[in-house]
Amino acid sequence: MTLNLIDTHCHLDANAFQQDLTDVLQRAIEIGITRILSIGVSRSSSEAVLQLAAQHPIIAPVVGIHPNYALEAAPDDWDLIREMAQLPAVVAVGETGLDRYWKDVPIDIQQDFFRRHIALAREISKPFIVHCRDAEDDVIALLQEESGGGTSAGVMHSFCGSRRTAELCLEMGLHISFSGMLTYRRNDELRATAATVPLNRLLVETDAPYLAPQPQRGKRNEPAFTAMTNEVLAEIHGISAAEMAEQTTRNARELFLLS
Ligand SMILES: [Zn+2]
């Protein structure tokens, strides 16, 4: 059965896809993926993502500087990200956020870039995509400060936080995107949290080439595997995989204004 699905987060410019991207995209199309958001992590990665999108219409590009790449960004990289973000093809800004797992980039530099991405997204009326690793409280605090009690168009990507964090994100108007982590056996708590997220705020993603879902765990991930996460999310919400796919696809189309 083919589903109508959108992978809202992956990294198709990664070396892991250099050899066989056409086959990877073909497999995604075969299972019913209609769009794939490919996310930049640096200036050069954002440029690569734009190029890929120009070659493959299924790819929707997102440009930004990942917190782990914020230190190595050259002074004019941000100006170029700003320019790229305004291109009509670009559907969102990111990925941005905070990461306390890798200790290489001082947190104040990460916070500075996080704020810049949020401001840029607002300025150009596109959503932003948030990476959060071992930094839930800091991410929430910064988002709350920047939202000033209002709401924002954005995504907590590859969500693995607490139920409380999910609630606070939802209050700020954010969408919550689940990756293959939702399928891992030990992640009962994450599945319980996913059950509390309203249907109209759910998104699915792979974060490929990382985080392959359970049956493929440890191998290279690819957009076609979005179906596995979608299936688990459907089970959690007590609806069919086809219904969940329709729902998350509608959410993605509305949020990212996809054609
Ligand atoms: Zn990512």
Q: Report pLDDT digits (tens) over 169-204.
A: 999 999 999 999 999 999 999 999 999 999 999 999
Residues of the chain with pLDDT > 90, as a percent, come to 93
Residue 167 Cα to ligand 1 middle (Å): 22
Residue 75 Cα to ligand 1 middle (Å): 23
Residue 141 Cα to ligand 1 middle (Å): 21
> Given this model, what pLDDT does residue 215 score?
85
Whether residue 80 is predicted with pLDDT greater than 70 in this model: the reply is yes
Q: Which residues pair with 38 in a beta bridge?
A: 10, 61
Residue 130 Cα to ligand 1 middle (Å): 9
Domain ranges (residues) in the chain: 5-16+27-256
Is there a contact between 151 and 144 (Cβ–Cβ < 8 Å)?
Answer: no
Whether residue 81 is predicted with pLDDT greater than 70 in this model: the reply is yes
The two counts, helices (H) then strands (E), for the chain are: 9, 8
pLDDT in tens, 108-149: 999 999 999 999 999 999 999 999 999 999 999 999 999 988
Residue 179 Cα to ligand 1 middle (Å): 10
Tell me how far apart the alpha carbons of residues 32 and 236 are, in angstroms, rounded to a whole number.
21
Residue 230 Cα to ligand 1 middle (Å): 18
Q: Name the residue with tokens 């019913």.
A: 32
HSE-CB for 220 with a 13 A CA cutoff: 14
Residue 11 Cα to ligand 1 middle (Å): 6
Whether residue 249 is predicted with pLDDT greater than 90 in this model: the reply is yes
Of the candidates 23, 49, 257, 47, which has an alpha carbon nearest to the alpha carbon of residue 153?
Answer: 257
> Given this model, what pLDDT does residue 214 score?
87
Residue 76 Cα to ligand 1 middle (Å): 23
> Given this model, what pLDDT does residue 216 score?
86
Pairing mode, strands 154-156 and 175-178: parallel
pLDDT band at 259 (very low <50, low <70, confident <90, very high): confident
> Given this model, what pLDDT does residue 2 score?
75
Residue 41 Cα to ligand 1 middle (Å): 8
Residue 54 Cα to ligand 1 middle (Å): 20
Residue 250 Cα to ligand 1 middle (Å): 21
> What does the mean pLDDT of the chain come to?
96
Residue 158 Cα to ligand 1 middle (Å): 8
Residue 150 Cα to ligand 1 middle (Å): 26
> Given this model, what pLDDT does residue 1 score?
60
The domain made up of 5-16+27-256 has a fold known as TIM Barrel (3.20.20)
Residue 59 Cα to ligand 1 middle (Å): 15
Average pLDDT, integer, range 5-27: 97
Residue 233 Cα to ligand 1 middle (Å): 20
Residue 94 Cα to ligand 1 middle (Å): 9
Residue 39 Cα to ligand 1 middle (Å): 6
pLDDT band at 103 (very low <50, low <70, confident <90, very high): confident
Tell me how far apart the alpha carbons of residues 253 and 137 are, in angstroms, rounded to a whole number.
29
Residue 141 neighbours by CB under 8 Å, 6+ apart: none
Of the candidates 128, 141, 135, 77, which has an alpha carbon nearest to the alpha carbon of residue 105?
Answer: 135
Residues constituting the chain = 259
Tell me how far apart the alpha carbons of residues 155 and 219 are, in angstroms, rounded to a whole number.
26
Residues of the chain with pLDDT > 70, as a percent, come to 100
> Residue 219 to residues 90, 211, 223, 233: CA-CA distances in angstroms?
29, 8, 13, 21
